[in-house]
Structure 1
Amino acid sequence: MAVFGRLSLRARLTVAATAMAAVGLAVGGVLWLVAMDRALLGALDETARRQGDDIATLVESGRLPDPLPGFGVAVAQVLDGDDRVVASTPGGDRLTPVVAGDDLAAVRSGAAIDIDGTRLGQPEPLRVVGIVTDTAGEPRTVIVAVSLEEQQRSVRFAKIGVFGGGLAITAALGALSWLVIVRALRPVDRLRGGAEDISGAGGGHRLPVPAGGDELSRLATTLNDMLRRLDAAAARQRAFVADAAHELRSPIAALRTELEVALAHPDAVDPHDTAREALVEVQRMARLVDDLLVLAHLDNPRPLRRDELVDLGQLAVEITEGVRDGRVRVRVDSGGEVFTRGHRDSLSRVLRNLVDNAVRHASSQVTVAVTGDDGAARVSVADDGAGVRPADRDRIFERFARLDDARDRDAGGTGLGLAIAREIVVSHGGTVVVEDAGPGARFVVTLPPARATIGAPEAVS
């Protein structure tokens, strides 16, 4: 087995296929030889019995000649009730029966037996059958012995033919199996070669797809789809890392500048102003790092737990009460109790991000509306600001997306709030879109509805 395991896949498959073919041929050959041997013996017995019947007819008619006609048999004898030879073919013993004792009893019962040919001075064994008859009320037994030489010669030739033919067929099947397996595995070699050309950096390379639409073709298609997804994920990761590095560089550079100026000109800089400005940059970095951690958690394939019953109206009130901006008035318009099932903290982050985004871009007012029906639970956040152009309504949900000067980092955003909101909503089986509020923009979150039940459990963390 160790040697077999060191062989190539082609060799192992060829050896296995050839071995199975050889075993099948061997079993078939043995069964055929056994059937042939029995058929020849049956034919030989039938011939001997037919000749014995002819002699028995002569015995019953009282016209028994002496010597008996041979009919091509080796020896034929007629025995009386005392097992004495009454008549025999030429060359047969006229004193001693061909068989005696148990052998004679067996042939009288209808069996056919084999005996050594040396009893009659012949090199080949003999096949003996017996026919029981009588004449004038006296029992007679006709013994017919025929040579097995022709039968054994035929069996020997058949064995040689089966052995030689089996070897030839096995060799031919082995060669054919090798050719078929080599041809079948050729696409695998091409796939392996294509895989060697693909580097970890991606680059859009794909595996060659074999023609024919078979299992290998479907495997190559599946692997190419996987490579396409991996390339897309790698591209997103590289872009994300580059954007994150770029976003972190700005507050770090600003903080470094503040500290260097304070150290270089201690008399010209107010320490409190320096600390306050440094704190602003630190808070900006903290928000960015926090958003990056949230996105990393959302990118985890493990889904969020969605086993909490969440009152969206109550959640909207809690979020708006935490808004501290005297420039913009935030109000909640709830049409009754609207429930969904989801991760409460994540849904709270969605509303907080949407409300913060609306407050930053509103002129004077932000409206949070909660509505529900049998088909969906909806939360809309509308502002009366400049709005979002139709061409940008998909792009604003991309990570680090900023559309214009009014939506830059100085406004307090990290460029990740809307991306985080969309990721969370999608993970909850919902959608988020932006519409024209006339004036301003309206973000609409649609989630699967849920019914509140009496005695429902509190939110699960």
Structure 2
Amino acid sequence: MSRWIRGPLPRLGLRARLLALGVLGLVVGFAFGGALLLGALGWTLQRSVDEEALRTADAVALLTAEDALPDPLPVAGGQLRVQVVDGQGRIRAASIDADRLVPMLGPAELRPGQRQRLVVDGRRVGMPGPVRVVTVPAGTAQEPRTVLVAKSLTDVRHSLHVVRNLLLVGFPLLVAGLGVVAWRVVGATLRPVEQLRSGAAEITGRAGAERLPVPAGQDEIHRLAVTLNDMLDRLAASRDRQRAFVADAAHELRSPLTNMRTELEVARRLGDDTDWPAVADDLLADTERLSRLVDDLLLLARLDEQDARPSPVGPVELGELLRAVAARYPSPPVRLTPPDAPRWVEGDASELRRVLVNLVDNALRHAYTGVDLAVSGPDGAYHLITVTDDGPGIPAADRERVFARFTRLDDARARDAGGAGLGLAIVRELVRRAGGTVELADATPGAAAPGLRVTVRLPALAEPDAE
């Protein structure tokens, strides 16, 4: 049956498949229930026949033990035949309708001294159909007797026949009625699914409003529609971010390319009068800016493609990492406060170095006198890296916005200030991959130039030798 379900049914619609499976289940269940009902009914009727015959046999056996057998034997109703036979198989007494010459059971069938239950042909006892014969030992040890009582099973067979015919007629009608009801119920249940499918096809085909119809009932299909709408909202937001990202990237790439083209065209027109060293310096600066921008775009694209955080590369000592970064800059303006003990974290050293370089570069663009670089901790389960400058700072309302891609505040929009608004976005992504957080705050709250303190929290790791 499983092969049949996997074979023909998949070519049908979902509604037809559910109905076919439901009807198949009903047929199997009704067939099993009908067989069980007929078996139970037959056993009950047969037991009632046996009990009636045994009661009569026990009563006759009691009369035999008291040597008070009447002739003919009294029997209630005309459905019973009673005989009393001796050890030689001779009939000593019988009911009015029973044979007085031939016993109901032959010598090969009769076992004196035992209670028996047999089914014999009714023609042997003058009754229609099969007959139930029970035997009960009676008499004494010197004069053993056996009481035989026969009762026709015609009524039992007739009752079972009637019930079987009723089941054969009623069950198909009941299955057909339930099938019609199930067809309508399944159709009403699947109607919201069809509406969801139509809505999805409309969104795909006509690019309409990206919302699926939500059924009124608070059931699984309602929750499915809500989940799908949430997914569509996230996809729409992601598409909007992608479009904005592409537009901003195109704009940022256009600026250095336009500058380079302009400088080359001017140099070509002026010919020998061109200050070639100055032109080369400008082209080199634009080329470096373009290279940095392309590297940042590629890094963000790679980070977007990695859905899960990669496994850590290995332990990194933050003090050594900060010294390596600070060595790239003059002693002032970058001032390093070395840690008093090793500070270990687990992660990618190149990614953490990129975080510090981006933060220091951003701080140097806005600092008046210098930048302070320090590491402390552990603060709970984290080590803290702080990058502090004494520049104008960032208003509290803009501190979350600056982590968005291509976001630059008004005082940072000049090309000479450098940066395309990707540095802090890269910092947040890399810190998140390392399992940490990054926060912005005023360095000196309330001052005219409050400065900016960037705090990077990274999960602390015990020293490798201690493990």
Q: Normalized against structure 1, the TM-score is what?
A: 0.89
Taking only the aligned residue pairs, the percentage that are identical comes to 46
Which residue in the other structure is 2:390 paired with? 384
Corresponding residue to 1:194 among 190, 199, 209: 199
Specify every segment of 5 or more residues in structure 2 that has no aligned partner in the other structure, as ranges.
none
Which residue in the other structure is 2:131 paired with? 126
Are the structure 2 counterparts of residues 204 and 340 from structure 1 closer, same or farther at C-alpha, using a change threshold of 3 Å? farther
Counterpart AA for 2:451: A
Which residue in the other structure is 1:288 paired with? 293
Specify every segment of 5 or more residues in structure 1 that has no aligned partner in the other structure, as ranges.
none
Q: CA deviation at 1:132?
A: 2.3
Are the structure 2 counterparts of residues 345 and 324 from structure 1 closer, same or farther at C-alpha, using a change threshold of 3 Å? same
- Cα distance in 1 for residues equivalent to 2:171 and 2:145: 50
Q: CA deviation at 1:286?
A: 0.3
Are the structure 2 counterparts of residues 200 and 163 from structure 1 closer, same or farther at C-alpha, using a change threshold of 3 Å? closer
Which residue in the other structure is 1:262 paired with? 267
Corresponding residue to 1:424 among 417, 424, 430: 430
Q: CA deviation at 1:324?
A: 6.0
- Cα distance in 1 for residues equivalent to 2:194 and 2:354: 51
- Cα distance in 1 for residues equivalent to 2:456 and 2:326: 19
- Cα distance in 2 for residues equivalent to 1:449 and 1:418: 20
Are the structure 2 counterparts of residues 124 and 256 from structure 1 closer, same or farther at C-alpha, using a change threshold of 3 Å? same
CA deviation string 1:287-319 (max 9, x = no partner): 100111111222222424434333333322322
Q: CA deviation at 1:87?
A: 3.2
**Contact 2:392 2:452 (8 Å CA) reproduced:** no
Which residue in the other structure is 2:336 paired with? 332
Q: CA deviation at 1:363?
A: 2.5
CA deviation string 1:165-194 (max 9, x = no partner): 333332333233333322322222222222
Q: CA deviation at 1:149?
A: 1.5
**Contact 2:336 2:372 (8 Å CA) reproduced:** yes
Corresponding residue to 1:103 among 102, 105, 109: 109
Secondary structure at 1:104 match in 2: coil
Counterpart AA for 1:331: R
Matched, 1:29 2:44: no
Secondary structure at 1:207 match in 2: coil
Secondary structure at 1:140 match in 2: strand
- Cα distance in 2 for residues equivalent to 1:283 and 1:136: 126
Corresponding residue to 2:346 among 320, 341, 344: 341
State how 1:147-166 maps to structure 2 within 5 Å.
147-166=152-171
Q: CA deviation at 1:202?
A: 7.5
- Cα distance in 1 for residues equivalent to 2:452 and 2:114: 109
CA deviation string 1:37-85 (max 9, x = no partner): 1221221122222223343344444444444344323532222221122
Corresponding residue to 2:452 among 433, 442, 461: 442
Q: CA deviation at 1:19?
A: 1.9
Secondary structure at 2:8 match in 1: helix
Matched, 1:399 2:399: no
Are the structure 2 counterparts of residues 250 and 156 from structure 1 closer, same or farther at C-alpha, using a change threshold of 3 Å? same
Q: CA deviation at 1:411?
A: 1.7
**Contact 1:409 1:415 (8 Å CA) reproduced:** no
Say what the alpha-carbon RMSD is for the aligned residues.
2.8
- Cα distance in 2 for residues equivalent to 1:319 and 1:60: 120
- Cα distance in 2 for residues equivalent to 1:214 and 1:162: 37
State how 1:48-63 maps to structure 2 within 5 Å.
48-63=53-68
Matched, 1:4 2:14: no
Q: CA deviation at 1:247?
A: 0.6
CA deviation string 1:90-140 (max 9, x = no partner): 4433322221023222x8621111111222444312111223222794222
Secondary structure at 2:336 match in 1: strand
Question: Does 265-274 or 290-299 show the bigger shift?
Answer: 265-274
Are the structure 2 counterparts of residues 286 and 135 from structure 1 closer, same or farther at C-alpha, using a change threshold of 3 Å? closer
Which residue in the other structure is 1:362 paired with? 367
Counterpart AA for 2:106: A
- Cα distance in 2 for residues equivalent to 1:293 and 1:324: 29
Are the structure 2 counterparts of residues 97 and 456 from structure 1 closer, same or farther at C-alpha, using a change threshold of 3 Å? closer
Q: CA deviation at 1:452?
A: 5.4
Matched, 1:47 2:57: no
**Contact 1:380 1:443 (8 Å CA) reproduced:** yes
Counterpart AA for 1:447: R
Secondary structure at 2:47 match in 1: helix
Counterpart AA for 1:113: L
Corresponding residue to 1:224 among 221, 226, 229: 229
**Contact 1:198 1:205 (8 Å CA) reproduced:** yes
Secondary structure at 1:267 match in 2: helix
Corresponding residue to 1:85 among 83, 86, 91: 91
- Cα distance in 2 for residues equivalent to 1:110 and 1:342: 90
**Contact 1:435 1:443 (8 Å CA) reproduced:** yes
- Cα distance in 2 for residues equivalent to 1:404 and 1:367: 24
**Contact 1:108 1:130 (8 Å CA) reproduced:** no
Q: Normalized against structure 2, the TM-score is what?
A: 0.88
Question: Does 347-356 or 309-318 show the bigger shift?
Answer: 309-318
Question: Does 219-228 or 267-276 show the bigger shift?
Answer: 267-276
Matched, 1:415 2:421: yes
**Contact 2:82 2:148 (8 Å CA) reproduced:** yes
**Contact 1:309 1:452 (8 Å CA) reproduced:** no
Secondary structure at 1:68 match in 2: coil
Question: Does 371-380 or 143-152 show the bigger shift?
Answer: 371-380
**Contact 2:315 2:464 (8 Å CA) reproduced:** no
Which residue in the other structure is 2:218 paired with? 213
Matched, 1:315 2:325: no
- Cα distance in 2 for residues equivalent to 1:345 and 1:32: 78
Question: Does 37-46 or 136-145 show the bigger shift?
Answer: 136-145
